[in-house]
Amino acid sequence: SSQPKDLRLPTPGCYADPIKAGIDADAVFDGMTEHLFFSLGKLATTASLRDLYMALSYAVRDRLMTRYLASQEAIRAKPQKTVAYLSAEFLIGPQLNNNLLNLGITKEAEEAVGRFGIESLSHILEVEEEPGLGNGGLGRLAACYMESLASLQVPAIGYGIRYEFGIFNQLIRDGWQVEVTDKWLKGGWPWELPQPDESCFVGFGGRTESYVDEKGKYRSRWIPSEHAIGVPHDIPILGYRVNNCDRLRLWRADATESFDFYAFNIGDYYGAVEEKVASETISKVLYPNDGTDEGRRLRLKQQHFFVSCSLQDMLRSLEKRGIEVEDFSEHWTVQLNDTHPAIAVAELMRLLIDHYHFEWEKAWHITTSSVAYTNHTLLPEALEKWDLDLFSSLLPRHLDLIYEINKRFLQQVRLRYPGNDLILRKLSIIDEDGCKAVRMAHLATIGAHHVNGVAALHSDLIKRQLMPEFAELWPEKFTNITNGVTPRRWVGLANPELSSLLDKEVGKDWITNMELLKKLEQKENDSGFLELFSKTKLSGKRKLAGYIHRQTGVLVDPSSLFDVQVKRIHQYKRQHLNALQVIAQYLRIKNGVDQDIAPRTVIFGGKAAPGYFMAKLMIRFINGIADVVNADPDMDGRLRVVFLPDYNVKLGEQVYSATDLSEQISTAGKEASGTGNMKFAMNGALTIGTLDGANIEIRDRVGSENFFLFGKTESEIVELRENQYDPKTYISNCKELSEALRLVEVGHFSNGDSELFLPLINSLTGSDPFFVMADFADYLRAQDEVNKVWKNPQKWNRMALLNTARSGFFSSDRSIKEYCKSIWKVKPLDVEISCDIN
């Protein structure tokens, strides 16, 4: 017949495994052969590694399509609530290996590529370009959540932006970070499906006007002065060994063509093209600021662009299925990943009132029963505020609606707190202090039915410090959902050797039910098993050592303690605390003080925001230390320092399985949750950390005896700040600290240049905003404890095993189940495919 192969009528009773039905090595090989020829125009005999990567990706994508379509069909046939996860960032990482794992055809693919003369699948996986459509934890969390949603069979769409350029690539030149444009789309990216027939129009600028409708009713409408078109690009997100395949729908901004004819006709060719260029810049580039808000016009444009497209898409899908828009909240639950998509509250109101002609109360009811908001940070510099002039010039109709939302809300507050003007000023969506601005966290909180933080301490601080008045007004609205990470990528793919050991020991189901790892506790005193466990770690370390040598030229010893801090570079994350500790160890070795020091390799990785001078200087500082330490023969076999350039998801997969010691050393109260901390613990790294974010919960679960705790608590930090904290007293009380600082000051790590690191030193010895000096001595004490335990491998391995055994709670499957039950009220949906469709 002329039907596509995958849609042939089923022949009954065929395959034993309904999921990988029919996908054997032959099928993968045939698929690759066809795609090489028909899609890529290549002969197998001359195909490059990249050609083979593309061919395999297309062949695998073909197998996803049946599941992708069947999942959309299932929801059509049996309507139920779908999660719409709105996020400005999705840091999804490489797709091929994850799809092979979730389909269950890794072995088959390995065999198929073997027939093309490729001795290891890993050579093909290395070719994949990773889409860096996120900065760090927030974007990666969105990706883990999409994978868990699909694996838990929950209908979901992730909505975001298809940035043409993701997070910059990082080079290190003379110790400094250099940013290079990330051209991830250049060779064609095989995992997306453009859907131009589902494009949306989005307006910007212009004015609001009143008019009388056909029924004689006064209405408002927005007359934008510009438009852009959003073209959806769908990325299939397959669940683990299920047929459910959810979607990540990313919008690309295209120019409209309607308006440029006039300019073109009068000869203003450049004017006409300019408008096209302006609308296409909307999805051009990801803002590379993790946790600092720049308040730039283009950023607000990006936010409104993807939010408007996404809401229009949700409304249109109801209409297509013949569902009343009135019933929106029974079919969609809209999660705001931080305030970046918070304009959704106003945009949904606008669409419901101006386009669907709902009354205010009805529209507000629909909005507030659909929207929920996750807060990811307390840092004041990250809380989004839009200057009123900028906001009104870009979104005049939304500002009208926000004023009305605010008016009604403040009236509610007045009734609750009569005559209390201070509380009105504090709660208002409009910040009236200084330059007037729209507070997006207030808009999100007022428009949402739930507000959640991302770890227990963080959620508590939202209520106590960030929004105490809101929490008093609506205590039931505020809740906690501790973050999680997907064990498929972060153990299954990142640590294949540990995974097969776990398969043998507790059975294969641990990967979807991490609590099963508790069974490993029985092995805590089994030295034979501990040996096997530590061998998986050693093998990860050998691979990473090879990578480090190839990338940086530094030779590191896989049997040394791998001490790792990988995350965005930030003062609050305190990479400089770690660096100063390294200097103290260096001095001990130099001075012959502690000859008993355990050999260590201290590894750093992470990007700094391009405009964040202190963070960039911290990178330069680490590299300065690395140069001196690694060139000194006295350090041979004792201490190595490495800065791994261009830390990203792919590199993360190499690092987590190769780490002995995980550095989670942020100032207490500053790191909302952290998620790297979870990835390390699952892979059997021990944590040295403060009582911050999810560290607290990790320690509670793995046991305080299996965690190296140090530092001031959140309340002690508050107390220090309130009592005129002076870092100098801590410096003079700690000889090793003052000597380390002195060595930096005299230019020991900057070829005698005593100016280079002065801003860093001045910050630490001056105001020390992140209490590095206050925590240093205790950090050093904890590091000595690490040394002591490392020298007892049996003890170390037992502690490491217990970390893996007890970190099941930090699976994103657990987080997603909590969201489903307490916030979204959504249920799984079974997706069936006929057995010979593959």
Q: Which residues bind ligand B1N (CB under 6 A)?
A: 135, 137-138, 141, 287, 289-291, 338, 376-377, 382, 454, 483, 671-675, 693
Residue type at 559? S
Per-position b or e across 532-560, b if 16+ CB within 10 A of its CB: bbbebbebbbebbbeebeeebebebbbeb
Do the Cβ atoms of 533 and 802 come closer than 8 Å?
A: no
Shortest distance (Å) from residue 299 CB to ligand B1N: 8
* Residue 551: DSSP 8-state: H
The smaller minimum CB distance to ligand B1N, of residues 537 and 570, is found at: 570
Which residue do the tokens 């051209």 mark? Answer: 183
Structure tokens at 817: 């189940």
CB of 141 or CB of 430, closer to ligand B1N: 141
CB of 149 vs ligand B1N, minimal distance in Å: 16
Are 709 and 691 within 8 A, CB to CB?
A: yes
Q: Which residues contact 147 (CB under 8 A, 6 or more apart)?
A: 98, 237, 239, 240, 486, 488, 489, 812
Say which residues have a Cβ less than 8 Å from residue 403's Cβ, sequence separation at least 6.
430
Q: Minimum distance between the CB of residue 710 and ligand B1N, rounded to whole angstroms?
A: 19
Nearer to ligand B1N, 484 or 487 (CB): 484
Under 8 Å between Cβ of 599 and 638: yes
Written as six digits, the tokens of 518 are 């508790």
Q: How far is CA 476 from CA 148, 441, 450, 452, 695, in A?
A: 26, 17, 8, 11, 26
The smaller minimum CB distance to ligand B1N, of residues 442 and 638, is found at 442
Smallest gap from Cβ 453 to ligand B1N, in A, equals 9
Eight-state DSSP code of residue 587: H
CB of 594 to ligand B1N, least distance (A): 34
Q: Shortest Cβ distance from residue 674 to ligand B1N (Å)? A: 5
- Cα distance between residue 820 and residue 802, in whole Å: 29
Give the nearer residue to ligand B1N in terms of CB position, either 222 or 373.
373
Cα–Cα distances in Å, from 657 out to 6, 345, 489, 680?
38, 41, 12, 7
* Nearest in space to 704 (alpha carbons), one of 770, 771, 785, 773: 785
| Distance from C-alpha of 477 to C-alpha of 819, rounded to nearest angstrom | 14
d(CA 484, CA 143) in angstroms, rounded, equals 11
Q: Return the structure tokens found at 485.
A: 């990470």
DSSP label at 576?
H
CB of 204 to ligand B1N, least distance (A): 21
Q: Is the dihedral of CA 440, 373, 235, 327 positive or negative?
A: negative
Q: What's the closest the beta carbon of residue 688 comes to ligand B1N, in angstroms?
A: 17
Whole-angstrom Cα distance, residue 306 to residue 250? Answer: 8
Nearer to ligand B1N, 187 or 295 (CB): 295
Q: Supply the minimum distance, in Å, between the C-beta of residue 687 and ligand B1N.
A: 15
Q: Any residues with CB less than 8 A from the CB of 597 and at least 6 apart, and which?
A: 585, 588, 589, 638, 639, 787
Give the catalytic positions in this structure: 376, 567-568, 573, 675, 679
Interstrand relation of 176-180 and 169-173 (parallel, antiparallel or unpaired): antiparallel
Alpha-carbon distance of 228 to 226, in angstroms, equals 7
Taking the alpha carbons at both ends of the chain, their separation in whole angstroms is 17
d(CA 200, CA 306) in angstroms, rounded, equals: 10
CB of 438 to ligand B1N, least distance (A): 17
Closest CA to 698 of 457, 479, 516: 457
Cβ distance to ligand B1N smaller for residue 36 or 141: 141
| Choice between 139 and 230, CB closer to ligand B1N | 139
Measured from the CB atom, the residue of 529 and 572 that comes closer to ligand B1N is: 572
Supply φ then ψ for residue 565, to 5 degrees. -130, 100
Rank residues 57 and 377 by Cβ distance to ligand B1N and give the closer one.
Answer: 377
Residue nearest to ligand B1N (CB): 137
